[in-house]
Chain A
Amino acid sequence: MKTLRFSRKDLGIPYILFLIIFVVLPLLVLFYYAFTNGQGQPTLSNLTGFFTDPNTLGTLCYSFAIAFVTTCVCLLLAYPTAYVLAQSELKEKSVLVMLFVMPMWINFSLRITALKEILTLIEGNLAMHPFLNAVVGMTYDFLPFMILPIYTTLSRLDRSLIEAAQDLGAGDFAAFWHITLPLSVPGIVSGVSMVFLPAMTNYVVLDMLYNSTYIMGSLIGSYFASYNWHGGSMIALILLAIICVFTLLTRGMEEEDAQAVGGALL
């Protein structure tokens, strides 16, 4: 009897095809548009245009600022939460975790619409605090993405390390500062990258909360709406490059941390 066997390689074929059609080809198109002008001739003017225009650079700064503040606020809110969750002696910890994830089950635009009403109640006129609104909206939206990875790292943390530190005379704070915090860096890093990058481009939050300043996402959209596909593609590429650099940096850190954990255990 003949049996059909798939080697591991063959099982990858569907995904590779998917990758080629939906990732590689569009990227090539993006590259083509980014480095050509309206007449289809190769040019670098889109690239130089981006870095010489105070508006596009300003947008980059503004997006960075929003993303940075959002990430800091998320981290400050998420770390204690995750710490308490991980430390709690409750049997049904997963229920608690679920409570934090549950908002994500509700449709995104619905949540922001509700937030809009709440903020209007608190602030009076929403349009007075566009930057604050954007940060609150993004924090509201992305907080679970910060809590979960930190919680996961913290709950996997070997308690005996802390006990050992305490045996050697470290106080609670010293044990936290020298053991828990460094060991939870991988969680923080993946949380930061899950919040920071989307916060730079998620312009729907800004739109819905009446911040009329463009961030990177809306800037790209406006280029395409005015038929300037070349400039729009270039900005998309630049954003991609920023994300690549960011990912490489954080990955370097995570690897080191993995080594560090190994080192600490030896």
Chain B
Amino acid sequence: MSKAAKNKAGKLLALLLTGTCLLAALPAREALAGEKEEGTVVLRVCNWEEYIDLGDWDEEETIDLPSGDIIGENPIVEDFEDWYEETYGKKVRVEYSTFGTNEDLYNMLTLGDVYDLVCPSEYMFMKLMAEDKLVPLSPDFFDASDPNNYYINGVSPYIRSVFDSKEIGGEPWSAYAAGYMWGITGIVYNPDVVSREDASSWAVLNDPRYARQVTIKDNVRDTYFAAVGALKHDLLTDPEFLADPDYSLRLEEEMNDVSPETIQAVQDYLQSVRDNAYSFETDSGKADMITGKVVANYQWSGDAVYTLDQADEDDYTLCFAVPEESTNIYFDGWVMLRAGLEGDPERQHAAEAFINFMSRPDSVIRNMYYIGYTSVISGGDDPRIFEYADWCYGAEEDEEDTTDYPLGYFFSGDNEDEDYVITAPADQLDRQLFSQYPDEAAIRRSSIMVFFDAEANDAINRMWINVRCFNLRQIPVPAWIAAVLVVLALAWLWISHRRRMPRTS
């Protein structure tokens, strides 16, 4: 063998080796995902991080409801796979992955990640609906006579009316989306320092009395909503406005106001909030609230329940308030993606069955217990979800200071319904019960945040960057002089260094 030939053989081998390594690493996913392995349906689900029961509970964690015990032994996704095979005689394998924010999910989808079933918030599934990326739920999914259709048989009448009435492009949400969890935004506060009245207004975020002791959410939509609420305080609490027959509609319009003047006003407002707040945060606010670093914290209701629970364990009392102006109500919902299903009826069936299994009352309770958020499912004829709410927050027999907390609006559609009243310790009006299931008055002044068109979206993102960036005009003159001096000094050092260098010739 000549040297050249040997070289060639070596080169080939090297290429082959690297090639195999790369091949083995890269497309393994594509080879497996979405393919049917001998009759197994593969379902690719993408959900929020830490948004589902992973099982493995201790014996003591058993939830003993009057209608039976509930405990999570296995991850709920595995339970679904078993249930599907038992019920429909077909194997299904769930590839479960997670995302961190709605925007991340959207970017992942744009970059070509393929999923069959995802669970974004309402504005994001509205955006996906508008972009025609979703597959409508099948008529079978809404067939209430099928006992395995847990979603349609169990969804709260209140949630159902929202999903039926909110529309985009002439089609209701419910045609494409099935709810999963929902909640509102509000203020977690330390009642020793902040009064209930103060915490009941968005203005608390900009209150100089609590300077550097308040945290706000680190995202443009949540802060925009709070700023609009604070800026329009007078209008939003005006009795005439509140009595308007079209109150809900007008409220939604006001809270989704993206006129240039409003955006400018919000920017000015948020700039002062920035200088008054402790931090913009996504996750750390919970811990800072519990350790007492801050006294008020803009929070989502599900995380508020968690914060209050954690504080209780340390014998430290925190409360939750919903601002009087308006609160942002949000819904996370399951939607099926066109790019994932590719018209495959078997996979669509599995996806819809997955939604139904997540809506089965015992799954609902396991998920709620595990993640702390509130499910859209009220249980229909199944009493267990109301029993669970009572199990969590109902007063003990011997408790004296109690209050009746009606939840009929959520469980039966009629808030006067006496079957759905929880007798709770009186302080629960400001605490976990109120965060997990807000009362009807809070729901009345809630508004969704729609998704904005490209132009408004750009303007708002621009505004947000302006709030967060250090503006050149903020630099004081002495700082400019200092900077120039530093640059000159460095240049002089460099030049003198070069001059001093002895040269080898």
Contact = CB atoms under 8 A, between A and B. Distances in A.
Chain B contact residues: helix, strand, loop or mixed = helix
Contacts of B107: 224, 227
Interface string A110-130: 000000000010000111100
A6 interface: yes
Given A214-B470, A259-B501, A10 B103 contact: no
Interface stretch (A55-63, A95-103, A149-157, A162-170): A55-63
Given A10-B14, A17-B18, A213 B469 contact: yes
Nearest to A21: B22
Nearest to B13: A4
Contacts of A13: 11, 14-15, 18
Nearest to A125: B212
Nearest to B278: A127
A203 to B, nearest CB: 11
Contacts of A228: 458, 461
B40 interface: no
Interface string A209-235: 010111000110011111110000000
A264 interface: yes
Contacts of B101: 225
Contacts of A4: 6, 9-10, 13
Contact of A127 (B103, B110, B277, B458): B277
Contact of A226 (B103, B213, B284, B486): B103
Interface in A1-51: 2, 4-7, 10-11, 13-14, 17, 21
Contacts of B280: 212
A260 interface: yes
A120 B15 CA distance: 55
B57 to A, nearest CB: 28
Counting contact residues on chain A (CB < 8 A from B), the size range is 35 or more
Interface string B8-48: 01110111011001100000000000000000000000000
Interface stretch (B141-149, B358-366, B471-479): B471-479
Contacts of B248: none
B468 A212 contact: yes
A210 B279 contact: yes
A61 B474 CA distance: 11
B103 A266 contact: no
Contacts of A214: 465, 468-470
B498 A256 contact: yes
B349 interface: no
A182 interface: yes
Contacts of A17: 18, 22
Interface in B428-481: 457-458, 461, 464-466, 468-475
Contacts of A21: 22
B278 A210 contact: yes
A263 B502 contact: yes
B501 A125 contact: no
Contacts of B293: 120, 125-126
B470 A10 contact: no
A54 B471 contact: yes
Contacts of B474: 58
Nearest to B482: A65
B106 A227 contact: yes
B466 A55 contact: yes
Contact of A14 (B14, B104, B110): B14
Contacts of B475: 58, 61
A61 to B, nearest CB: 7
Contacts of B104: 225
A93 B268 CA distance: 57
A2 B497 CA distance: 58
Contacts of A54: 471-473
B274 interface: yes
Given A182-B497, A212-B277, A260-B502, A56 B469 contact: yes
B14 A222 contact: no
B465 A10 contact: no
A226 B457 contact: yes
Interface in B205-230: 212-213, 218, 220
Contact of B10 (A5, A59, A120): A5
A225 B107 CA distance: 8
Given A55-B466, A58-B469, A120-B293, A10 B502 contact: no
Contact of B220 (A5, A65, A226, A260): A226
Which 6 pairs of residues, A with B, have the shortest CB-CB distance? A226-B461, A55-B469, A210-B279, A62-B470, A54-B472, A58-B472
Interface of B: 1, 6-7, 9-11, 13-15, 17-18, 21-22, 101, 103-104, 106-107, 110, 212-213, 218, 220, 274, 277-281, 284, 293, 457-458, 461, 464-466, 468-475, 483, 486, 494, 497-498, 500-504
Given A4-B13, A61-B483, A219-B469, 13 more contacts: A13-B11, A55-B470, A58-B473, A127-B278, A185-B497, A212-B279, A218-B468, A225-B103, A225-B104, A226-B103, A226-B220, A226-B457, A256-B501
Interface of A: 2, 4-7, 10-11, 13-14, 17, 21, 54-59, 61-62, 65, 68, 120, 125-128, 182, 185, 208, 210, 212-214, 218-219, 222-228, 253, 256-257, 259-260, 262-264, 266
19 contacts: A4-B6, A4-B10, A4-B13, A6-B13, A11-B14, A17-B22, A54-B473, A56-B469, A57-B472, A58-B475, A127-B279, A219-B469, A222-B464, A225-B104, A226-B457, A253-B494, A256-B498, A257-B501, A259-B504
